[in-house]
């Protein structure tokens, strides 16, 4: 084997240099330090460095140097990165007999962090929250219509009192004591007042129920934990026979508590006295009206007509007071919710 330095004299045993080159540069004959690159062995019949360099980007190969009359050279070991999930420690390369260990390039460690898709934060779908809706317009309309109801009740009370006067005159002085025109006018006035009451009631009830539902919905945003019934009871509760005498009152009480400045304060904070008075008058007026109407329809004698007219007057008076207190209740609850919305409670208006 020729000397790896001068390529003229044969190399000495135990090294790649000849005796002269070894004496001239004894440091070259020393063993390579750990981790240093091994000298490239010349191919048989060729010159060292005659191999073409590997193109950039290709996997580099680490070859074991061939030894004279030694074992077959070790197979080339690719220095590319191992497959995902493989161990990152490099395999030990077989060293040729009589030669230095062949260093192996350590592949880069595989990343332990998996590839994660970006998290997309989508905006909330429309309709996932319910904003506050102003009850001021509906409240004003309900107050006006309740005033109209009170006016028709006044007219009905006057008509019933006139009927009573005419019938009493007939009872005391006979039918000839009252003229036919007075009797016809009394009947016409009573029928007209009853029709006006019905029209006013039909106009007021839808507006009042819509307002009642709106303030209940707003109160559910103010303090949702203060309710035992859903929002639909603010409408459906009025149409359940018999039960409408207490279900709407419960909804109104919970709405009042939630609309206060502090919904979780004790009951003596902003008492619901106006609500209780209104509801008591409403129930009393409803019962008195049903009773008076039936009594008037079934009256046959003059005495029965006079008694029925007295009950009609009493029912009308109760209904007038109930309508006035109901208007005050609507105004107060609407003002409470409007003031609370202006302070920023609940969702934006």
| pLDDT per residue rounded down to tens, the chain (349 residues) | 777 777 777 777 767 777 777 777 655 444 444 444 444 444 444 444 444 444 444 334 334 444 444 444 444 444 444 444 444 444 444 444 445 555 555 555 544 444 444 444 454 455 445 678 999 999 999 999 999 999 999 999 999 999 999 998 888 877 667 788 888 999 999 999 999 999 999 999 999 999 999 999 999 999 999 999 999 999 999 999 999 999 999 999 999 999 999 998 887 788 999 999 999 999 999 999 999 999 999 998 889 999 999 999 999 999 999 999 999 999 999 999 999 988 875 544 3
CA contacts within 13 A on the Cβ side of 348: 0
Q: Could you give the CA distance from residue 143 to residue 330 in angstroms, rounded to a whole number? A: 7
pLDDT the model gives residue 66: 41
**Structural element, H or E, at residue 50:** none
Give 17's contacts (C-beta < 8 A, 6+ positions apart). Answer: 3, 4, 5, 11, 25, 28, 29
User: Measuring CA to CA, which residue among 284, 321, 320, 295 is closest to residue 163?
Assistant: 295
pLDDT the model gives residue 170: 85
Cβ distance 40 to 67 under 8 Å? Answer: no
pLDDT the model gives residue 106: 53
Model-level pTM greater than 0.75?
no
Q: Could you give the CA distance from residue 308 to residue 164 in angstroms, rounded to a whole number? A: 9
């Amino acid at each position: 084997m020729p000397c790896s330095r001068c390529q003229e004299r044969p190399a000495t045993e135990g090294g790649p240099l000849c005796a002269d080159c070894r004496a001239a540069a004894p440091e070259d004959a020393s063993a390579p330090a750990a981790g240093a690159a091994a000298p490239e062995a010349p191919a048989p019949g060729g010159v060292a460095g005659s191999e073409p360099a590997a193109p950039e980007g290709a996997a580099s190969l680490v070859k074991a140097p061939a030894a004279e009359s030694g074992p077959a050279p070790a197979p080339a070991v690719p220095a590319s990165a191992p497959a995902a999930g493989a161990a990152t420690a490099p395999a030990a390369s077989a060293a040729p007999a009589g030669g230095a260990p062949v260093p192996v390039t350590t592949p880069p460690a595989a990343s332990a962090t998996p590839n994660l898709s970006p998290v997309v934060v989508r905006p909330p779908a429309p309709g996932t929250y319910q904003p506050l809706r102003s009850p001021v317009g509906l409240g004003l309309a309900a107050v006006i219509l309740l005033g109209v109801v009170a006016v028709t009740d006044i007219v009905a009370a006057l008509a019933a009192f006139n009927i009573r006067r005419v019938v009493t005159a007939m009872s005391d002085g006979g039918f000839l004591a009252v003229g036919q025109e007075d009797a016809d006018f009394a009947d016409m006035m009573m029928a007209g007042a009853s029709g006006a009451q019905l029209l006013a009631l039909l106009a007021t009830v839808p507006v009042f129920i819509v307002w009642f539902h709106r303030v209940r919905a707003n109160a559910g945003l103010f303090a949702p934990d203060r309710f035992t019934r859903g929002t639909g009871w603010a409408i459906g509760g009025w149409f359940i026979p018999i039960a409408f005498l207490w279900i709407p009152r419960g909804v109104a009480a919970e709405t009042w508590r939630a609309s206060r400045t502090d919904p979780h304060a004790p009951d003596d904070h902003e008492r619901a006295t106006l609500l209780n008075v209104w509801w008591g008058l409403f129930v009393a007026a409803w019962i008195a009206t049903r009773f008076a109407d039936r009594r008037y329809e079934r009256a046959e004698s003059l005495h029965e007509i006079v008694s029925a007219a007295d009950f009609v007057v009493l029912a009308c008076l109760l209904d007038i007071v109930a309508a006035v207190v109901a208007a005050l209740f609507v105004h107060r609850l609407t003002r409470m919710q409007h003031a609370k919305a202006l302070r920023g409670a609940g969702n934006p208006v």
